[in-house]
Structure 1
Amino acid sequence: MRTFTTFDELAGAVGEELGTSDWLTIEQDRVDLFADATGDHQWIHVDVDRAKAGPFGGTIAHGYLTLSLVPFLGNQVLALETPGAKLNYGVNKVRFPAPVRVGSRVRDTVTVKEVTDLASGKQLVLGHVVEIEGEDKPACVAETVVLLLP
């Protein structure tokens, strides 16, 4: 785990791969709870029997479920203990190159992409690559944006 306590430390880490989270197994219960939370009950995610005959041989996680795990997984890699508030500002780029089959494991590798000065503080862009154990393509590639206020 890499801990940043100053903006200068963050700026000095631009371009650096910080590390990789632990593996997380994607269980059907998590997928079902996400479906309930979002109202997205498409059969490919929640109907185990029907999905067995589908294109992936079983249920898969929602792409947005995978994206929603980025803060949890990323917090295993870095901690922001800079002064002031830390606000999620958005996501610049998101792609879901491969489906996450229920029962598979994922983990996140985090890179500091950029630190930009703003009138209100700093803007931090982090790169995330969520890989699937044993798969060639990642589940998710994203750039998250965090506002760091003084």
Structure 2
Amino acid sequence: MRWISAIASAAALLGCSPVPSDMFLTLSISTDGAAVETSINGKANAFLSGDSGSMVTSAPLNKLVRSGENEVSFEISPVQPLPETPGFFSKLEISIKGEIIDTMVESDRTIFARELTAEESAKIADGESITITEKFTIDRAALKAMKN
């Protein structure tokens, strides 16, 4: 079992991804009236973060994830001027190369989709920051099976 972990670790260091090369694991984020700092498996990601209060972005995570358990954390904080109801939406989805997808709508290939609850939105509107963490598992064999 240890040699399997060693091989997986070596593959990760070499830039190999558990996501097949003809598939994309895409994280999409939209904010309104909130800043977001995104980290993937504990590492900050500047491209998927923003402090302007209004942001829509998507990026592939193929080389940022590992086989097995992974997590994405979002630290969401208020910005000025603060809207009455701050908004945040994130979606992690797998797609096949060449497909056109709507990054803001859930599909059958959505791994997770998350928006603020009324309570979370109220906290941000009151000037508080919140952290949302989503955990997910990457299994190369399961991803390959999705293509069939």
TM-score by length of 2: 0.28
Structure ranking higher in strand proportion: 2
Structure ranking higher in helix proportion: 1
TM-score by length of 1: 0.28
